[in-house]
Amino acid sequence: MRILVVEDEPKIGRVLLEGLEAEQFAVDLAVDGESGLELATQVEYDAIILDLNLPRLDGFTVLQRIRKQRLQVPVLILSARADAADRVRGLNMGADDYLRKPFSFDELVARVHALLRRPHQLLDSLSVADLEIDRIRHVVTRAGKPIPLTQREYALLVEYLMRNAGRPVTRTMVVEHVWNLGFEGLTNIVDVYINYLRGKVDSGFNKNLIHTVRGIGYVLADHDADMAATAQCSVPAHGAADLDLRSAQLVAGA
């Protein structure tokens, strides 16, 4: 999942960036209100952590403009402002939570997970066929057999392929959601990690779950027969307007 942090204090920004990445999130950091607003309105995020005392554009204004554009992304305000009036104002303007500085990082992560557990955001467990993931314990199994994954493999499998099971995703979409905006590598890094996952998720099992959608990218799907329907499905909206899925050729396990 991808999180935007809007924080101008370098030390706090670094703690949030490194800490959230260690928790399997892809994280973008904006250091002022204007750049934070620009990212929030141009990139699809699963949650936003927003400071209030920001240069160029204060946090309240950023929040107001986000909600004015009818963006429903969960927003957690993280601020040193202690007055109840500020908390009430932020929540009334559309924030989903408010945490005061100084703060416990463990509490912040727990609050983020609580926001993401709301409908259409985050489930405690996910499954496709006999592949099961416990998102609370970060445990992945197939047919009851534990599958050890690196942080990036876990993010790719759980945070994107599993959440879009049965729907083709492009390499660019994967890079944008699993890596952050500072990533300068080519999209063929996705192919490398897909091969890593196939060696762990599909190798040794009778049925492949990770499939190539030729000319588009990849899809995690249960049965080969079901995949014929994916040619009629839409790719997740971000970045997919010019793709013709009806002409896609599906190659199982290729």
Mean pLDDT of the chain: 83
Q: How large a percentage of the chain has pLDDT more than 70?
A: 81
163 with 102, same domain: the answer is no
How far apart (Å, rounded) are the C-alpha atoms in residues 94 and 207? 46
191 with 92, same domain: the answer is no
Task: Tell whether pTM > 0.95.
Answer: no
Mean pLDDT over residues 220-232, rounded? Answer: 57
User: Which tens digit of pLDDT belongs to each residue from 12-28?
Assistant: 999 999 999 998 898 99
62 with 10, same domain: the answer is yes
In the predicted model, is pLDDT for residue 101 greater than 80? yes
In the predicted model, is pLDDT for residue 137 greater than 90? no
- The residue that leads in pLDDT, 150 or 7, is 7
144 with 231, same domain: the answer is yes
Could you list the residue range(s) of the whole structural domain that residue 40 is in? 2-116
Q: Retrieve residue 71's tokens.
A: 């963006």
Task: Identify the domain boundary among 87, 116, 145.
Answer: 116
Task: Identify the domain boundary among 88, 116, 144.
Answer: 116
Which one, of 50, 55, 61, lies nearest residue 96 by Cα? Answer: 50
In a domain, 103, yes or no: yes
User: Which tens digit of pLDDT belongs to each residue from 158-215?
Assistant: 768 987 888 888 888 888 778 765 555 667 888 999 999 999 999 999 999 999 988 8
Q: How many residues does the chain have?
A: 254
- Could you tell me the CATH number of the domain that includes residue 84? 3.40.50.2300
pLDDT band at 108 (very low <50, low <70, confident <90, very high): very high
Ordered alpha helix ranges (H), the chain: 10-22, 33-42, 59-68, 84-92, 105-116, 151-156, 171-178, 188-201
210 with 137, same domain: the answer is yes
27 with 104, same domain: the answer is yes
- The residue that leads in pLDDT, 232 or 166, is 166
- Could you tell me the CATH number of the domain that includes residue 231? 1.10.10.10
Helices 105-116 and 10-22, packing angle to 10 deg? 60
In a domain, 123, yes or no: no
How far apart (Å, rounded) are the C-alpha atoms in residues 4 and 102? 20
136 with 56, same domain: the answer is no
9 with 85, same domain: the answer is yes
DSSP 100-148: ESS--HHHHHHHHHHHHTSTTT--SEEEETTEEEETTTTEEEETTEE--
In a domain, 122, yes or no: no
Burial level of 113, CB count in 10 A (0-12/13-18/19+)? middle
Q: Retrieve residue 166's tokens.
A: 């049965």
In a domain, 121, yes or no: no
- The residue that leads in pLDDT, 233 or 252, is 233
